A and B are shown apart, each in its own frame.
Chain A
């Protein structure tokens, strides 16, 4: 009996080890089932994605697309590991820019140039361009344009004797002083804890001061691009705003993911907010009264006197994107191509996007937008995108990941007054 027991224990150990080993090996990458898979983000354009995949699946019961849903941060971490280990879904949700370049460099995604011609005809060319690397298309947009917009609470502005959004940087500084005098402690809402909203300020200021060239020098890896006179001037303007108390003294605790910055604006604690176009949908859900009252204003970023940048330039995310995994089986890739050509930005897709307050990146959407309930905002944003000479992709997306994180941290320190513009520029020059 004793011997038997020992044998049993060894057997148990061996089978446990076998289990663990097989667990570590993971599943066969991608080629397992015939069904294509997609990992999709919740929030934002979720409703559009859901209805689109649902109607595809009911029309194509023999080749469904299986979806998994993730929050933004969780997704960003998971997808990298999944792609790196060869177990990515067929549809890879991405932001173009640096991470897409990494995927392309490792042959993780397929070239879509030839196989999605039908879809490409429906999309605004400047947005399509964001998905290109070396002249080849690797990612196609899948939702709405997300330019960064200066939102205002006109009631608060009027209370301080200000008439509408500022059109120049000097006016902006003036308005900050007026709002302060009127007892508004936080003239401009800024989600400092989330860090990325701070990026919007430097992106716009750098563009207005020196034009797109200022940041292109960074992207192209020119030495000391961060300490160019234009960049230093833009950085100095941030310090100027912070010193003037434009963001109040508590912006470090404000979190954008919880829409706390939008809440500051619609509760009347702030007069202005620089945020992505998606914030408009948040106003619709969180404070419908405010959105409909006419107190919510929207404008492009102010110009800078003597600046080289076109005041019509915009920054933000042209859209989110789909790429197709190179590790997916042939059937999965075929399903993906058919879906992209037939179902992406079809009538129904565009309608649900608009319904949810999004600006579709399709050509000829003017009439649909003008007919929608949110016509004033959507038309404004659509024109903004259409007429922009340059649409700068968010810097943290455009840069390689290693610099993106350093940028956010150093920028946060600039806003907190822990770094001067010169120290910021030096730290970033060292990081690139």
Chain B
């Protein structure tokens, strides 16, 4: 702990002058009117529509009829929805557990200015350029147990029923989703890690801190805000993630990957139960907003001021 204490020391000796917060910064309110108008039409209005739709019965044809709370009771007590909620939680937690540490380590690694790391970085970023549909189709072909990578290379271990076995399909999806999104989050961490003043590391090295110690006592605390941001994106993103799963498994085999967003889609556009789908949609919005709000609170975004006071 000595290293960290030493580093923080300047804070106590030269406490920064308390700056009065400016009342308002930025352009006048009217400038945001176009943006607000678009937001209202494309976000608020549809949202209200979905809430209303969740209290009606509608098969996509004809006119919706009022159903009261029947949809809500039906959907919430439906074992399919409950299963979907469980799956969404599993997907979110697993995605975070895989993506957060990996992208943090990769990001910090890529923040180094060595030439070979730049080459690696380019390779790591490649998945960012591909559309989810393309990634899904490519992985589907690669993982095909009969005509895929395993057969091509003659590696029998790879010839598993990756997307067709209920116990394997979810881990496979977590892996492919991580493959898609780790580059983006590493980019965040790389940028953040480069912002850490070298003087902190110099001081730590003088105090005899090794690589591991500097990572845990300087890099990690300095990346705190980035971790909160990136985790929020990961968690809310996984909760509402749809495209790759839709392309790769379509919720199958059976119900094994029917997460909430997919449940919403299948209800709405395969079973034509728009009311039930709207219920799931509202659930997703509420949970998504609540989680991101909570994360920001826990992460102290209100106190998200500079972590470099005194430097």
Contact = CB atoms under 8 A, between A and B. Distances in A.
B61 A250 contact: no
B62 A106 contact: yes
Interface string B1-40: 0000000000000000000000000001011011011100
A254 B146 contact: yes
Interface residues of B, number: 45
A80 B166 contact: no
Interface in B142-173: 143-147, 159-166, 169
A192 B269 contact: no
B266 A9 contact: no
A416 B254 contact: yes
B299 interface: no
Contact of A193 (B33, B166, B249): B249
Given A102-B61, A252-B252, A402 B166 contact: no
B41 interface: yes
Contacts, number: 122
User: Secondary structure at chain B's binding surface: helix, strand, loop or mixed?
Assistant: loop
A387 interface: no
B252 A412 contact: yes
Interface stretch (A10-18, A27-35, A166-174, A295-303): A10-18
Interface stretch (B109-117, B180-188, B209-217, B270-278): B270-278
Contact of B271 (A21, A186, A193, A405): A405
A250 B59 contact: no
A20 B143 CA distance: 44
Nearest to A413: B254
Interface string A71-88: 000000100110110000
A10 B162 contact: no
B288 interface: no
Contacts of B146: 186, 250, 253-254, 260, 263-264, 269
A80 to B, nearest CB: 5
A interface SS class? helix
Contacts of A269: 146
B60 interface: yes
Given A102-B61, A250-B146, A413-B255, A192 B271 contact: no
Interface in A90-106: 102-103, 105-106
Interface of A: 6, 9-10, 12-13, 16-17, 20-21, 24, 77, 80-81, 83-84, 102-103, 105-106, 108, 186, 192-193, 195, 249-255, 258, 260, 263-264, 269, 401-402, 404-406, 409, 412-413, 416, 418-419
21 contacts: A6-B28, A12-B34, A13-B34, A16-B38, A17-B37, A20-B42, A21-B41, A81-B60, A84-B60, A102-B59, A102-B272, A105-B61, A108-B61, A192-B164, A252-B164, A255-B140, A263-B147, A401-B272, A402-B271, A416-B166, A418-B166
Given A80-B272, A102-B59, 18 more contacts: A10-B30, A16-B37, A20-B37, A84-B60, A102-B272, A105-B61, A193-B163, A193-B253, A250-B145, A250-B160, A252-B253, A263-B146, A264-B146, A409-B80, A409-B251, A413-B254, A416-B253, A416-B254
